[in-house]
Amino acid sequence: MMENLHIINGLYAITPEQKNLSILSSQVESCIKGGAKLIQYRSKKLSKIDRKKQAKQIKILCNSYNIPLIINDDIELCRNLDADGVHLGEDDDSLTKARKLLGPSKIIGISCYNSIDRVKIAIDEGANYVALGACFSSNTKKNAPQVSMDLITLVLKEFKIPLVAIGGIDTENVELLVKEGVKCVALINGLFKAKDVEKTARIYTNILKTNYER
C-alpha cells in the first residue's frame, strides 16, 4: 500500500452533481489539464445506472492522462471499473470491508472530519490517506463540523499518513493551509463552479507545488 502514498498530493478534484456527462467530462479534463493529481467521482443523487455510466467515462478519461480515479462511497462500483481506489465517510462501508474486497493495491481514503480518534483508527486499519474538514465554511456540506488549524498541524506533525484538506477552500484561504504544510487539497465548488476551470485548477496547482515539490 505504501507505493501509493507519493500520489496523494497537489490538487484533488471531486466531481459535483452534474447530470450532463459531456459537461462533466469536459470539466474533469480541464481540471487535469490545470494540474489536478487525483480525481474523485462523487454523486449522491444520480441513479446507480447513471453513476456507473458517468464513472466509466471519467475512468477512461483519467486513464488517458494517467491520473488516479477514486470512487466516492461505492466499493462495488470501484471494483466493477477497476478504479484506483475508494473514499469512505462515516456512514459508508468499513475500511476493513473495502480492503478485503479491493485488495492491497487500491487506495482507500477516509473522511475523519475534525476527529483525531478517527484519524488514529484509520491509520490502524490501513488507510492510505485521511481527509480533514471542513477547513472553512462549505456550501457543499453546510452543517459539516469545522476542523481547527491546530488539529491539521497536529496530524501533519504526529502521523506519516498523507492528509487531504477539504471544505470551503478557495484560492485565497488555501495559502493558510499551505503555510501549515498541507500538500493536498480537495475541492468541488472551488473548481467546478469557476468560470475557467482549467485556469483555476492551475492557480491551486501552482500554490500547492511549493509544498509537494520540496
CA atoms within 13 A of residue 122's CA, in its CB half-sphere: 29
Q: For residues 100 and 86, give the distance between their C-alpha atoms in angstroms, rounded to a whole number.
A: 13
Q: Respond yes or no: is residue 100 known to be catalytic.
A: no
Q: Respond yes or no: is residue 141 known to be catalytic.
A: yes
Q: Which position among 52, 56, 79, 141 bears the catalytic label? A: 141
Q: Which position among 30, 37, 42, 202 bears the catalytic label? A: 42
Whether 144 and 181 have beta carbons less than 8 Å apart is answered as no
Q: Which position among 111, 118, 183, 202 bears the catalytic label? A: 111
Could you tell me which of 119, 117, 97 has the C-alpha nearest to residue 106? Answer: 97
Could you tell me which of 214, 204, 174 has the C-alpha nearest to residue 10? Answer: 204
Q: Respond yes or no: is residue 45 known to be catalytic.
A: no
Across the strands, what pairs with 137? none
Burial class (CB in 10 A: 0-12, 13-18, 19+), 49: exposed
Q: Catalytic amino acids?
A: 42, 111, 141
